[in-house]
Structure 1
């Protein structure tokens, strides 16, 4: 498992702020629209590198779609619990931003979206709703398992992108965006653990099943 960091959620709860540059602002700020790094794709990649880039963006976009629908399903069930509902909503808002940026990256780099988009939505909502119906601890255990896999996936992806040889500015920016999103996902993992994910019934089994499902989905969406 990835090394744990100081939990930014805990710092927020203490009234402290954690400042960091947001690479994603290159895609969300109107003042940065039209930059070469956000509007063009490298032409000097080898076929293997191009395949790697397309697979990475395809699976990342699919993952953010699924994450949005997981939180949607959890929020539908748990919104009556004000504290838990607000916590889920906060994480969901971050995932909405992630998806908006991934949608722009998919268009920029001319990547075909996965053919399993509708499956990702249905499966994500179902997973979120079912685990929430098992209780808020199970919902947090689902988040813990999902974000563990996604954090490790982003870490592996960054290593692959480090080997991509190109002078095009979009690739360093993409790496910074992925680093930012990885930190966000690991923050969600921290939040889940702090909110008693490991108290969920059959925690180990639930984590193993959800984690394995995520890893299978990643490999399928790279190709389909």
Structure 2
């Protein structure tokens, strides 16, 4: 029986470069699951509502760009193969979110944030550093990030007009997936981050949210 192929650091680096292009180039991300909004109807909305919803979906799209970068950075530097596999599996599921948000932005006659390459680079660096420190820190970072994303999604769901069932369906499924990813990271041995670290992450997230709502 053949043993699994062992990839070198250079192999993984080239894989990450390919993944970054798939994440950042519009239309390159391909979902493995159909969008939860696929069979739901668009409803009429005025220009102000459409602009606001597009801003929220742009924030969530950038959040998924950051999640891709975070997981890919961690997978690059993770110490244990099983931890690396978990990061790569989570990244694959986050691709679905990325594609769903991008599709919804197109339906709203809008586009992703032009700041995505900047946030991708920052998130990839943070993920790689966390992986170099330890797998426990890396998994803890995932859990803390997913908890933060869950709060953002709760806020956005509260802001959506009731009639926008398409955006709501997407965000509700994303929320379920993020909760699962966070729980899995803690169950795999992730550390629980202290409150000052979580506060700093919230501050950085707030900057991303404000920057990408309109840009």
TM-score of the alignment, normalized to the shorter chain, above 0.5: yes
1:75 is aligned to 75
Structure-1-length-normalised TM-score: 0.73
1:210 aligns with 2:201: yes
> In 2, distance between residues paired with 1:60 and 1:125?
17
Unaligned runs of 5+ in 1: 1-23
1:55 aligns with 2:55: yes
1:136 is aligned to 135
**8 Å CA contact retained: 2:144, 2:192:** no
**8 Å CA contact retained: 2:73, 2:128:** yes
How many aligned positions are there? 183
1:156 is aligned to 155
Structure-2-length-normalised TM-score: 0.76
1:165: how far off?
5.7
2:100 is aligned to 101
1:36: how far off?
7.0
Match of 1:175 among 158, 168, 171: 168
Match of 1:25 among 26, 29, 34: 34
Q: Could you list the per-position Cα deviations for residues 32-86 of structure 1 after superposition, in whole angstroms to 9, with x for gaps in the alignment?
A: 6xx673xxx54x32343122211111111111111101101001111x5111111
- The CA RMSD measured in Å over matched residues stands at 2.2
> In 2, distance between residues paired with 1:36 and 1:173?
6
> In 2, distance between residues paired with 1:192 and 1:125?
18
